[in-house]
A = this chain, B = another copy of it.
Amino acid sequence: MSWLQREILLAPRSRGFHLVTSELVTELPELRRLRVGILHLLIRHTSASLALNENASQDVRRDFESWFDRAVPERAAFWTHTLEGDDDMPAHVKAALIGPSLTLPVSAGRLALGTWQGIYLCEHRDRGGPRSVFATAWGED
């Protein structure tokens, strides 16, 4: 069994859904040595999340934002946690709906994803800044 654990800082992104598969995998060259294993990624924030979804079309990522902005609206009358800005409380709910982590299989040195699957950084704040992703991988060489 070999283990790898490392913090990866993702560059700041605008509010929305961003494909970051390459940016993450580049920081984890040791995955190539795993014959069989798992990669776990945790975003260490409560107003951003990680998703696995369509990696080809920018339209899909824009439509994600449209849906989430309507489903979890800013300035709704029932929000009470409003001190940190109109985008803050909706960001927490969106983050919980999508979730903070991904657990992904590694096979023959590569992520064993579907053809159309890529990793999204889901940035729910207007100005979220850099985001910390804590990566843990384990498996057999």
Contact = CB atoms under 8 A, between A and B. Distances in A.
- The binding surface of chain A is classed by DSSP as mixed
A140 B57 CA distance: 41
A80 interface: yes
Given A79-B63, A80-B62, A89-B63, A117 B36 contact: no
Interface string A55-78: 001011011101100111000101
Given A36-B136, A67-B78, 20 more contacts: A3-B36, A5-B105, A38-B136, A42-B105, A42-B112, A44-B115, A46-B54, A46-B114, A46-B117, A59-B80, A59-B81, A62-B80, A62-B81, A63-B81, A63-B93, A66-B80, A70-B78, A101-B104, A103-B103, A105-B134
Interface of A: 1, 3, 5, 36-38, 40, 42-46, 51-54, 57, 59-60, 62-64, 66-67, 70-72, 76, 78-81, 89, 92-93, 95-105, 107, 112-117, 132, 134, 136, 138-140
